[in-house]
Chain A
Amino acid sequence: RKEVEQDPGPFNVPEGATVAFNCTYSNSASQSFFWYRQDCRKEPKLLMSVYSSGNEDGRFTAQLNRASQYISLLIRDSKLSDSATYLCVVNHPNYGQNFVFGPGTRLSVLP
């Protein structure tokens, strides 16, 4: 099993749509969780951290289910500028607690 798995995508949605991305991680000892965003031919950038109680940042909502080892990202009212690849990131005890990235899910928001 891969350390971090994500919906394969791509997701093509119209502007204004709500879209949800799913992520699962393999190691129950992981403690830190993030969503990063990577624009085409650019470096990844932190979108938001994911907290146990769930957290929201504007149109973005992240949820964590430790029992299921599952993380989600919800984007409401999609904008054209949301088009990017979304990367699920988890710290991994086998790698000295360093961050392991999922394969990413590509989102295209269409006019």
Chain B
Amino acid sequence: ETGVTQSPTHLIKTRGQQVTLRCSSQSGHNTVSWYQQALGQGPQFIFQYYREEENGRGNFPPRFSGLQFPNYSSELNVNALELDDSALYLCASSLTGFTGELFFGEGSRLTVL
């Protein structure tokens, strides 16, 4: 158990809808990173939040956005869902974000129909 919790665990949406995924970081961790993992592929970096500010972003369009709250929990929001957004969304918390180990939650599996 990493202490990182994500919700919901599974959800189904239709194209064009919006989704919010939530993550509670491990106690004491101030950095949260989000990854998208399509079936059979490695996790793709979406963005990282450190002390409530975005601290690096991967090659994802602006319809992927996020927040980090003062308690270091985080949300990932995806607008205008597309079929290709179907994936496992993983949240990882860490102490420093650059050199520290990433502790992953079990993920939220999103299916877009």
Residue pairs across A and B with Cβ atoms less than 8 A apart, 22 shown, are A32-B98, A42-B106, A43-B2, A44-B43, A44-B90, A44-B102, A45-B104, A92-B45, A95-B56, A95-B57, A96-B55, A97-B98, A98-B45, A98-B55, A98-B58, A98-B98, A99-B33, A101-B42, A102-B42, A103-B41, A103-B42, A104-B42
Contact of A87 among B42, B48, B58, B97 (CB under 8 A): B42
B37 to chain A, nearest CB (A): 8
* Interface bracket on A: 20 to 34
A98 lies within 8 A of B104 (CB): no
Contact residues, A46-60 vs B (CB, 8 A) = 46
- A98 to B105 alpha-carbon distance, docked (Å): 18
Contact residues, A70-111 vs B (CB, 8 A) = 87, 91-92, 95-104
A43 lies within 8 A of B106 (CB): yes
Interface mask (B20-45 → A, CB under 8 Å = 1, otherwise 0)? 00000000000001010000011111
Contact of A101 among B44, B56, B57, B101 (CB under 8 A): B44
Other A-B pairs beyond A44-B90, A87-B42, A101-B44, 19, CB < 8 Å: A32-B99, A36-B102, A42-B106, A43-B107, A44-B43, A44-B104, A45-B104, A46-B101, A96-B55, A96-B56, A96-B57, A97-B98, A98-B45, A98-B56, A98-B58, A99-B33, A101-B45, A102-B42, A104-B42
**Interface residues in chain A, defined as those with a beta carbon under 8 Å from any beta carbon in chain B:** 4, 32, 36, 42-46, 87, 91-92, 95-104
Closest residue on chain B to residue A91 by CB atoms: B98
Closest residue on chain A to residue B54 by CB atoms: A96
The 9 closest A-B pairs by CB, nearest first: A96-B56, A43-B104, A101-B42, A98-B56, A103-B42, A101-B43, A104-B42, A46-B101, A97-B98
